[in-house]
Amino acid sequence: MALQQSRTDTGSVDVLPQVRLCGVTKRFGAVLANDGISLSIMPGRIKALLGENGAGKSTLMAMLAGRFKPDAGHIEVAGARVDFASPREAIAAGIGMVYQHFMLVENMSVAENVLLGQEGGFVLDPAAMRAKVGELAARFGLPIDPGARVGDLSMGERQRVEILKLLCRESRVLIFDEPTAVLTPPEAEALFDALRTMSAQGKAIVFISHKLEEVLSVADEIAILRRGRIEGEFLADEVDSPAELARRMVGRDVVLDIKRQAVSPGDTVLDVRGLSGFGLDGVSLSLRQGEILAVVGVAGNGQQPLVEVVCGLVRPQSGTVELLGHGWDAFFKHHDWDGALAWVPEDRAGLATCRSLDLTDNLLLTTRQGFSKGQWLQRARAREAARAIVREHNVQPGRIGLPAWQLSGGNLQKFVLGRELLRKPRLLVAEQPTQGLDISATEAVWQRLLAARADMGVLLVTGDLAEALALADRVAVMFRGRVMGQFSTGDAAQVERIGALMAGLSDAGAKSGAA
């Protein structure tokens, strides 16, 4: 008894793990989402799972929450092996998950939402329900009005309701999937306080994030997930440089050996000077024909607004943007469908294509001006062009009559890239072009981009450092809307600093960079 007491008191690592993942593996088709992952989740500890988008974090947690079954390996709860057939069983085993999209009934009160399904009696007593929820909220430091309508609450408050639902079910493991994505900074601080309170009361907490600063400020233990594998695991106190974390998270091992042929740079196709607003802070960069410029950084550090400005979705607030030698206004007023700008967006199934249109119609989405005669579409020609893309880029299955959703991510991406290259752009913006693709599709996309740069400048926005280093001539590192550094990938000393720059440490290794 006394021994037990002292053990839990110290919250030390030799307590029995609440949940253990033992060599868990999950594949989706050809993509290995999780590869032999082993993790221990301890009561009273906050474990951060750090990884880029597509690293396999969500898949791993979906298995813990009972939504998927592992292909190999197993999960143990309190030392006993479990096989969850449904989320309900995971909840019963004490594993609760706060998803990014809340599962709340907006038109009901906080207390009703929290107690839904476990009211403990047929006739309800609203006052008692409110009191019960209010008491629970006070115990775990989650201030909230139990009588308020959920639809009137802020995102931070709604998240508290989700947490209360789990606490009310006495979940012993609480998993948070990117919990700060919807929160303002003060709300995030309040959440961190609540996480600490809950862990002090013996809850095991898993915190999924790709934000370094957050993870360092809240976690006791950090596990880095990259391309489906655990890349490293440490105690938060042991981490002496965020740069090391960033470097490990994005990795830089060369997965593919790609031959690059030197191309002599031509005219400047994109020139951004002092661009600010939308979370950008004085961004300047330029790109010439024959070059690939990789914009790297942890997601959410200004890459998206930069792409939106360059692609004409939002008008620059301050600073100048020149495309193909024209100002932003002039360019987007007059630019042609071909010979100008093309964009391969990150969201290939939502933004780049319409899921239920066939490949011909999806081709026409961005190229219809090239396939029309007056008001009439020339569908026969479009079909021919779609067929040519399918053949040339080896899109499987090669039938142009299929709706887009029947193609795998890799094949859809090859088709989108083929479509955009058909426009013979002089500036190509490619956003996370190989995210979620298997090795062969990744290689195909990389080859296309390298070959394409002879005729155009390519702005490659990526969270994958290996991709940036394999493809790009130059790299620009972004952090909190600023370009922290811009240099040639041939400059080994500078390339060493990328991890530090991504973590916002501009003076780290400045001595070596001074050369």
Partner 1 sequence: MSPELIVALLAAAVHAAAPILFATLGEILSEKAGVLNLGVEGVMALSAFAAFFVCHATGSAPLGLLAGGLAGALLCGLHSLVCQVFLGNQVVSGLALAIFGVGLSDYLGTPYVGQATEGFRQFAVPLLSQLPVLGPVLFRQDAMVYLAYAAPVAVWFLLNRTSLGLGLRATGEMPAAAAAAGLNPQRLRAFGVMAGGFLCGVGGAYLSLAHTHLWTTGLSGGRGWVAVALVIFAFWRPGRAVLGALLFGGVMAFQLRLQAAGTNVPSSLLLMLPYALTVLALVFSASRSRSSARKAAAAPAALGVNIEPED
Which residues contact partner 1 by CB under 8 A? 87-88, 91, 103-108, 112-113, 115-119, 121-124, 126, 149, 151-152, 165
First to last CA, the chain: 63
Q: How far is the CB of 151 from partner 1 (least distance, A)?
A: 6
Distances (CA, A) of 362 to 22, 354, 434, 499: 43, 7, 20, 38
User: Dihedral of CA 322/326/329/335: which sign?
Assistant: negative
The residue among 166 and 212 lying less far from partner 1, judged by its C-beta, is: 166
The residue among 107 and 375 lying less far from partner 1, judged by its C-beta, is: 107
Question: CB-based contacts of 135: which residues, under 8 Å, 6+ apart?
Answer: none
d(CA 432, CA 34): 20
Strands 474-479 and 482-488, by their bridges, are antiparallel
The residue among 126 and 397 lying less far from partner 1, judged by its C-beta, is: 126
Q: At what angle do helices 379-392 and 359-367 cross, to 10 degrees?
A: 100
The residue among 87 and 265 lying less far from partner 1, judged by its C-beta, is: 87
Exposure letters 429-461 (e unless 16+ CB within 10 A, then b): bbbbbbbbbbeebbbbbbebbbebbeebbbbbb
Query: Partners of 427 in the beta sheet?
Result: 341, 457
Q: How far is the CB of 122 from partner 1 (least distance, A)?
A: 5
Q: How far is the CB of 21 from partner 1 (least distance, A)?
A: 22
Q: How far is the CB of 62 from partner 1 (least distance, A)?
A: 11
Q: How far is the CB of 53 from partner 1 (least distance, A)?
A: 22
Phi/psi for 105 (5° steps) reads -95, 110
d(CA 62, CA 343): 32
The residue among 98 and 215 lying less far from partner 1, judged by its C-beta, is: 98
The residue among 122 and 376 lying less far from partner 1, judged by its C-beta, is: 122
Pair 51, 75: CB distance under 8 Å: no
Strands 280-288 and 268-277, by their bridges, are antiparallel
The residue among 96 and 425 lying less far from partner 1, judged by its C-beta, is: 96
The residue among 64 and 498 lying less far from partner 1, judged by its C-beta, is: 64
The residue among 3 and 123 lying less far from partner 1, judged by its C-beta, is: 123
Pair 26, 70: CB distance under 8 Å: yes
Q: How far is the CB of 118 from partner 1 (least distance, A)?
A: 7
Exposure letters 110-132 (e unless 16+ CB within 10 A, then b): bbbbbbeeeeeeeeeeeeebbeb
Q: How far is the CB of 116 from partner 1 (least distance, A)?
A: 4
Category of 513 on φ-ψ map: left (φ > 0), alpha (ψ -120 to 50) or beta: alpha
Q: How far is the CB of 103 from partner 1 (least distance, A)?
A: 4
Q: How far is the CB of 101 from partner 1 (least distance, A)?
A: 9
d(CA 492, CA 367): 41
The residue among 73 and 87 lying less far from partner 1, judged by its C-beta, is: 87
Q: How far is the CB of 98 from partner 1 (least distance, A)?
A: 11
